[in-house]
Amino acid sequence: MTGDITLLHGDCFEQMKEIADGSVALVLADPPYNIGVQTQTKGKEKINAWDRIGDYPVFMRHFFEESARVLKDSGVLYMWHNDMEQIAEILHDVKQRGQFKLVSFCIWDKGKSYRARSWLNRNPGQLRRWFNRCEYCLHFFRVGMDVCAGHTGTDRINNNPACYRTLKDWYNAEKERLGLTDKYIGAAYTRVTGKKPYMLQHYFRDHQFELPTRAVWEAVYEPLGFGKEYEELRQEYEELRQEYEELRHTHVNDAMHCNVWTRAAIPSQKRFHTCEKPVDILSRIIRTSSRPGDIVLDTFMGSGSTGVACMQEGRRFIGIEREDKYFEVAKRRIEETKSGLFA
């Protein structure tokens, strides 16, 4: 498929080689959980072989490495999982490698009416743990290659000379040229405004950078001899602020912004895939962590729910699926969604 939707059929790691470095804004992935889910069919027990991977830690490490490559430095990654022991191993490895920083541990609560058939079929006297009616979605920020691991947000900007650092350097050079100290500027501020100079700790500083207001600049700084008019200073600040916004990880809050998402599971008779996630939850993630026109990548596309959500939210989509059956299902669903949206 062409245009804003690209569907790739095959192994995810082989297909990811075709994706350009630093081109993706959001990776939204639902990898195999490696728990070999057991199901009952006409009294016979069946293990889903696709959910059993020989060397799972290596598999997941490869996934994060390739995701780091294709993501922008400001990129975001969400990964679904449901096994705490394996989640712990994944998080340990991710932290050691330093390419991503865990930001949120989100929970999809399927509601009190949810019951897993495999759980109900067991003898209650044999159970040794709580019934889990949730799935987990781990939210990561990509850590830029130009700064040390763990630095995100403002830390990354302060370490990037292309951002506010240029204004800070200009301000410090002007202070030196004029022979001014912070104490002298603070006294001038108090004399003009009648206030203690608390705000000076933010003006042109690394921590919580702010510009003086027009009134303060024209009443305090220009009379001291600083060599820029306020309009020129403000224009330069706005240009740098735009660079700052582009480098930040996208995160747009909504009205009910918390890490527990309560939403009933899709009934089995209405699911296209055993592990299908609701489109409305995926749409919420996409709205929160990407901008219109961004590229969203789903490396384990399944039945194409992420692609459907991307079309509804105005994002470009790349989906990868190796199973013939589900690739065709995803292709059909996305084509039908496209027809419905643009008919």
Q: Which CATH number is 108's domain given? A: 3.40.50.150
**For position 3, what pLDDT does the model report?**
53
Kindly state whether residues 134 and 165 are assigned to the same domain.
Answer: no
When pLDDT is averaged across residues 220-238 and rounded to a whole number, the result is 93
Kindly state whether residues 105 and 173 are assigned to the same domain.
Answer: no
Q: How many other C-beta atoms can be found within 10 angstroms of the C-beta atom of residue 331?
A: 19
When pLDDT is averaged across residues 13-18 and rounded to a whole number, the result is 95
pLDDT tops 70 at residue 153: no
pLDDT tops 60 at residue 303: yes
Kindly state whether residues 337 and 267 are assigned to the same domain.
Answer: yes
Kindly state whether residues 124 and 253 are assigned to the same domain.
Answer: yes
Please state, in angstroms and rounded to a whole number, the distance separating the CA atoms of residues 274 and 38.
12
- Of 247, 269, 288, which marks where a domain is finished? 247
- Of 214, 247, 280, which marks where a domain is finished? 247
Q: Please tell me which residue, 162 or 292, carries the higher pLDDT value.
A: 292
Q: Do residues 223 and 241 lie in contact, with contact meaning Cβ atoms separated by under 8 Å?
A: no
Kindly state whether residues 141 and 265 are assigned to the same domain.
Answer: yes
Please list the alpha-helical segments (H only) found in 21-126.
56-70, 84-97, 117-120
**For position 324, what pLDDT does the model report?**
94
Kindly state whether residues 182 and 284 are assigned to the same domain.
Answer: no
**For position 122, what pLDDT does the model report?**
64
Three-state secondary structure call for residue 342: helix
Q: Domain tally for the chain?
A: 2
Cβ-count burial 133-149 (b if 16+ within 10 Å, e if not): bbbbbbbbbbbbeebee
Kindly state whether residues 228 and 291 are assigned to the same domain.
Answer: no
pLDDT tops 50 at residue 145: no
Nearest to 74 by CA among 180, 163, 5: 163
The H-or-E segment that residue 262 falls in is: strand 260-262
pLDDT tops 70 at residue 100: yes
Please, what is the end-to-end C-alpha distance for the chain in angstroms?
A: 18
Kindly state whether residues 242 and 335 are assigned to the same domain.
Answer: no
Kindly state whether residues 197 and 254 are assigned to the same domain.
Answer: no
Its domain, for residue 171, covers 156-247
Kindly state whether residues 113 and 175 are assigned to the same domain.
Answer: no
88, 188, 200, 216, 224 from 195: Cα distances, Å:
52, 10, 11, 11, 18
Percent of the chain with pLDDT over 90: 58
pLDDT tops 70 at residue 169: yes
Please state, in angstroms and rounded to a whole number, the distance separating the CA atoms of residues 86 and 52.
13
∠ CA 47-271-14, nearest 5°, is 65
**For position 308, what pLDDT does the model report?**
95
Q: Please tell me which residue, 335 or 113, carries the higher pLDDT value.
A: 335
8, 12, 252, 270 from 305: Cα distances, Å:
15, 17, 21, 13
CA atoms within 13 A on the CB side of 92: 7
pLDDT tops 50 at residue 223: yes
Please state, in angstroms and rounded to a whole number, the distance separating the CA atoms of residues 244 and 165.
11
pLDDT tops 70 at residue 186: yes
Nearest to 73 by CA among 171, 174, 147, 154: 147
Percent of the chain with pLDDT over 70: 82
Q: Please tell me which residue, 215 or 43, carries the higher pLDDT value.
A: 215
Question: Sorting pLDDT into bands at 50, 70 and 90, what band is 149?
Answer: very low
- Cα dihedral sign for 20, 13, 150, 103? positive
- Of 212, 247, 282, which marks where a domain is finished? 247
Q: Do residues 311 and 337 lie in contact, with contact meaning Cβ atoms separated by under 8 Å?
A: yes
**For position 36, what pLDDT does the model report?**
64
pLDDT tops 70 at residue 157: no
Kindly state whether residues 88 and 102 are assigned to the same domain.
Answer: yes
pLDDT tops 80 at residue 159: no
Kindly state whether residues 187 and 256 are assigned to the same domain.
Answer: no
pLDDT tops 90 at residue 76: yes
